[in-house]
Amino acid sequence: MKTSSTPASSGTTPALSGRQKKRGKWTRTIALDAMVLPALILTIVFAYVPMVGIVIAFQDFKPWLGFSQSNWVGLDHFKYLFNTPENLQVVWNTLIIASMKLVGGLIAPLVFALLLNEVRLSAFKRSVQTLVYLPHFLSWVILGGILLDMLSMKGLINQALVAMFNIEPVFFLGDGNWFRVVVVLSDIWKEFGFGAIIFLASLAGINPALYEAAEVDGAGRWQQTWAITIPSLIPIMIVVGTLSLGNILNAGFDQIFNLYNGLVYDKGDIIDTFVYRIGLIDGQFGFSAAVGLFKSVVGFVLIVAAYRMAYKFANYRIF
């Protein structure tokens, strides 16, 4: 009896090899990979390639000498940064202004969202939302010009103060303490409406049955807010607060650059404006690069810590 030289068919397809599986996976995702590729290239070109310039922070950099021939100074720029009171004041200014913005930028949107959530007239509610969102889309170049006119010694605000309270005009943008107040309040005014979106979305996700049960138990609107609304918002408050820590050294270059002047450098100068003035205006490229590198390293550490805290306390994660 002659036997067949080919194996009998078992009715099942042979298992794919590891190489075939990888090839199939690549084929399925090639379109998505092609869509990501331009963004990846731009990120590498504009975010990673310029990191070569970090070496400037350790050199007495001269543009006409380049990286290779500029004198190496090691950590001298960093020592000068931390041993000079004027330079440390810039760091403190940044921390103070950014911290005030962080707290105000968390409380104001939360309060606004809670108040707007109680409005039952839909048309009025939508109108208010639109009005408070608008400042977010205006640049600080425009708003800076408006504030400079309104807060000048003969501006609208001082005219109103003189007419109503018969007091001397206040030099809002020439006094360091008043300058900080103006910076923080104007930033909150510009951003609180847009920042309230996330809280309004969280409020919409609260189970209505909780409020119905509270009404049955005789709880009023204020009691419902304290017992249901605010506890339900605590996780998103933790997320917003912790993620904002990553930007604690970003006190708002655009805003302060358009508002400040030499009279308020001692209280209003922040790291970004300091780097701009020292590096691009005065030509101290090495020292300004060192200050920028210090800010970037601290910011990176804070961002990592913020994401860890958000995951630990609010179970929030991106990856």
What is the count of structural domains for the chain? 2
In a domain, 79, yes or no: no
**Is there a domain that residue 280 lies in?**
yes
Statement to judge: residues 131 and 64 lie in one domain: no
66 and 91 within one domain: no
In a domain, 257, yes or no: yes
The pLDDT-based confidence of 107 (bands split at 50, 70, 90) is very high
pLDDT of 7 higher than 60? no
- Of the residues 71, 106, 132, which one is the last residue of a structural domain? 71
283, part of any domain = yes
pLDDT band at 318 (very low <50, low <70, confident <90, very high): low
Over residues 248-271, mean pLDDT? 86
Residues 32 and 102 in one domain: no
> Do 32 and 150 share a domain, yes or no?
no
- Which residues constitute the domain of residue 298? 84-314
Regarding whether 297 and 228 lie in a shared domain, the answer is yes
**CATH number for the domain that contains residue 136:** 1.10.3720.10
Is 78 part of a structural domain of the chain? no
Residue 3's pLDDT band (cuts 50, 70, 90): very low
- Judged against a pLDDT cut of 80, whether residue 72 lies above it is answered with yes
- Same domain for 112 and 37: no
- One domain, residues 40 and 130: no
What's residue 41's pLDDT?
Answer: 94
Q: Are residues 273 and 153 in the same domain?
A: yes
pLDDT confidence band for 279 (50 / 70 / 90): confident
Query: Would residue 248 count as lying in a domain?
Result: yes
Structural domain ending residue among the three candidates 6, 36, 71: 71
- From 29, 47, 71, the end of a domain falls on 71
- What is the pLDDT, as a whole number, of residue 15? 53
Which of 3-7, 186-190, 208-212 is predicted with the least confidence, judged by mean pLDDT?
3-7
- Indicate whether 59 and 146 sit together in one domain: no
Do residues 23 and 96 both lie within one domain? no
Q: Is residue 305 part of a domain?
A: yes
Burial grade of 28 (CB within 10 A; 0-12, 13-18, 19 or more): exposed
Position 4 in a domain: no
Same domain, 285 and 206: yes
The mean pLDDT of 1-25, rounded to a whole number, is 53
Which is more confident, 238 or 39?
39
> Which of the two residues, 221 and 38, has the higher pLDDT score?
38
Same domain, 134 and 266: yes
